């Protein structure tokens, strides 16, 4: 009984060690100094959310009654694409 409990505890320790290793070894290929200082979203745009994902800066904006997802290069600040959300 004691042996199986020790094996189970050792297994939990191994799993948590692997999780901590993965979290701490996740290194970004872009340093904070390399991000663009500004990006152009439009004069009447209200930023609802911004996120870095798969090497892109994704910005959700509201322009009046319209909502759009803007995709930027996080290093240069250049807009790479735009997706407008429409009701159907």
Contact 36, 75 (CB under 8 A): yes
Task: For residue 33, give the 3-state DSSP assignment.
Answer: helix
The pLDDT value given to residue 63: 92
Residue carrying the six token digits 């901590």: 20
Task: Identify the pLDDT of residue 47.
Answer: 93
Predicted confidence (pLDDT) per residue in 25-63, tens digit = 766 555 666 888 888 888 889 999 999 888 899 999 999
Where do the H-state alpha helices sit in the chain?
Answer: 2-25
Please state which architecture CATH assigns to domain 2-85.
2-Layer Sandwich (3.30)
Domain boundaries, the chain: 2-85
pLDDT > 90? residue 17? no
């Amino acid at each position: 009984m004691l042996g199986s409990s020790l094996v189970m505890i050792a297994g939990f320790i191994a799993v948590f060690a692997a999780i901590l290793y993965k979290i701490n070894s996740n290194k970004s290929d872009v340093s904070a100094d390399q991000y663009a200082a500004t990006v152009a979203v439009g004069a009447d745009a209200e930023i609802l959310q911004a996120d870095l994902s798969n090497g892109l800066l994704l910005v959700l904006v509201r322009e009046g009654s319209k909502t759009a997802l803007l995709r930027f290069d996080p290093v240069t600040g250049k807009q790479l694409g735009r997706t407008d959300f429409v009701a159907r």
